[in-house]
Structure 1
Amino acid sequence: MALHTRDGGLVMPNAWDGLSALVLADAGFEAIATSSAALAATLGRFDGRHSVTREEHLEHARLLGRVTGLPVNGDFEDGYGVTPEDVATTVEAAVEFGLAGIGIEDTSGNPDQPIRGFDEAVSRVRSAVDAAKGRIVITGRTDNFLHGRPDLEDTIRRLTAFAEAGADVLYAPLPPDLEALVAIVAAVAPTPVNVLISPSDKVLTVAELQGVGVKRISLGPALYTHAAGALEQAARALVAGDLASATTGMSFDRINELLARTTN
């Protein structure tokens, strides 16, 4: 939690496998996170529909922590459970698996009604906090903006209630603009706020986000999609017969150098 409360806070990139985690650790990041979207995609599944199990995500998070020795925050969707008690079970398991933090969203996994009701969402965060007992950082998250609900008032209401329930960090991915982000940070202060890259209208710098009081910056699946974009370009080059362009990238010697640094 100290990383969130110091001047400047932290940038917490999201890894998707052992090598990506090692690259991020080697670059000097002090903590990393899972990405539910990236993890689901690596398994050939959709994100946010309960297609990845609690156990799969726990093992994945433990791998990232084991190879790097870094604190890992788990992007654990809605807490993998129907009831608040199920969320508590997930938090207990995350503690047992050595995670440093865990996010609990107000999503439902139901595409027809993706956001849970206010009272239910708050109850689930409260259950997570009660189970954590201060042993793991709890992020309370509302996905209003991600699911076509551009209601800043309701977003702030939810985040404020999550803070009152004991959440350590608050998170509303992709507010529409900087003005909305500033309003969120001010409304929930002094609880630290996480931002996914930037407001949706403009990608800002780390310094600009820190300047308005953001304490944690995560990237979700952005690094994974960046790597996937490079793979797609290489595949197109290969189809066109360009072997040279298709086979550039990190050398296997460099991969082995990184693998030799694992904390296994």
Structure 2
Amino acid sequence: MHAPRATSNPFVGLHHADTPLLLPNAWDHASALAMAGQGFRAIGTTSLAVAAAVGLPDGASATRDETLRLALLLGSQQFLLSVDAENGFSEDPDEVAEFARQLAAVGAVGINLEDGMGAVDRHAAKIAAVKSAVPGLFVNARTDTYWLGEHDETETLSRLDVYQQAGADGVFVPGLASAREIGALVARLDVPLNILYSPVGPAVPHLADLGVSRISFGSFLYRRSLGAALEAVVEIREGRRPGGRAPTYEDIQSLGADPARHD
């Protein structure tokens, strides 16, 4: 197991536990509190859902304000918050660092930064700038070599080496699903590895055995929720009773209440 870097951030310790950190990704206040209510100590955000909810494209640096607004809503809650910030919403490392400062100021303890297969040195500069500006913020450095690229193991490791050296606290390779490749990567890394959960990929116990430190749900829960809603409207339209479980009105209403009232 990788030794954690010295920090007062409790989020760091969750990456160095005996079992992987399962990080569900929320898209609004209600989804975050509902997931936290299931016992998850940390919650992430998902950029796709945040963008889709307001009619904007994902991965286009279009949702900076919406992302910060959601962090403001969630950063003071009783769970640890990590924010998906796409590429930092800028190619200027100083602007990315300023955004990271704003996230930390409202209570976020982690940030996810993706390279989008852009220049390695530019992404490394963003990571270094964030760590310089907010040393205690957990920087999860994502490479898209499997998400957008050619599944090149050599390039993946090369990029992650640079990101580690720039100060990344963890690294993320969405789309990587081969048990052999995951195990090989864990053995070569000096920081925790984050894998994106896939219903057709290795199950959580298998990922744990491979040494994965963090398993993110990404946009899966949002897409699953939307899928369930579509199934329900079709069933109702066809005169059938919709299946599945739906929270009550009171359940949802309680998610907007002051958390202190439920202590």
Q: Report the alpha carbon displacement of residue 170 of structure 1 after superposing the two structures with TM.
A: 0.7
Percent sequence identity over matched residues? 33
The gaps in structure 1 that reach 5 residues or longer are 108-114
User: CA separation of 1:223/1:28 partners in 2, compared to 1, >3 Å: closer, same or farther?
Assistant: same
Per-residue CA distance 1:29-70 (angstroms, 9 max, x = gap): 010000001111111222101221x2220111221333x421
Does the CA contact (< 8 Å) of 2:177 and 2:202 recur in 1? no
What is aligned with 2:246?
249
The gaps in structure 2 that reach 5 residues or longer are 1-11
What letter is aligned with 1:73? Answer: S
What letter is aligned with 2:27? Answer: W
Aligned length: 250
TM (normalized to structure 2)? 0.88
1:21-100 counterparts in 2 under 5 A? 21-52=32-63, 54-66=64-76, 68-100=77-109
TM (normalized to structure 1)? 0.88
Which runs of 4 or more aligned residues in structure 1 lie more than 4 Å from their structure 2 counterparts after TM superposition? none
1:155-166 counterparts in 2 under 5 A? 155-166=156-167
What letter is aligned with 1:252? Answer: Y
What is aligned with 2:120?
118
Does the CA contact (< 8 Å) of 1:169 and 1:193 recur in 2? yes
What is aligned with 2:221?
223
2:178 maps to 1:168 = no
User: CA separation of 1:248/1:216 partners in 2, compared to 1, >3 Å: closer, same or farther?
Assistant: closer
Per-residue CA distance 1:73-125 (angstroms, 9 max, x = gap): 00100011121111111111111121010011112xxxxxxx21222222222
What is aligned with 2:4?
none
What letter is aligned with 2:54? Answer: L
What letter is aligned with 1:146? Answer: W
Q: Report the alpha carbon displacement of residue 260 of structure 1 after superposing the two structures with TM.
A: 3.8
Does the CA contact (< 8 Å) of 1:8 and 1:215 recur in 2? yes
Indicate which of 236, 239, 242 corresponds to 2:237: 239
What letter is aligned with 1:58? Answer: L
Does the CA contact (< 8 Å) of 2:100 and 2:111 recur in 1? yes
Q: Aligned-pair RMSD on alpha carbons?
A: 2.0
Q: Report the alpha carbon displacement of residue 254 of structure 1 after superposing the two structures with TM.
A: 2.1
Matched residue of 2:253: which SS?
Answer: helix
What letter is aligned with 1:171? Answer: F
User: CA separation of 1:176/1:213 partners in 2, compared to 1, >3 Å: closer, same or farther?
Assistant: closer
Does the CA contact (< 8 Å) of 1:69 and 1:263 recur in 2? no
Per-residue CA distance 1:157-204 (angstroms, 9 max, x = gap): 111111111111111111141111112211113x11111115x9x422
User: CA separation of 1:263/1:170 partners in 2, compared to 1, >3 Å: closer, same or farther?
Assistant: farther
What letter is aligned with 1:186? Answer: A
Indicate which of 10, 13, 18 corresponds to 1:2: 13
What is aligned with 2:182?
181
Does the CA contact (< 8 Å) of 1:19 and 1:259 recur in 2? yes
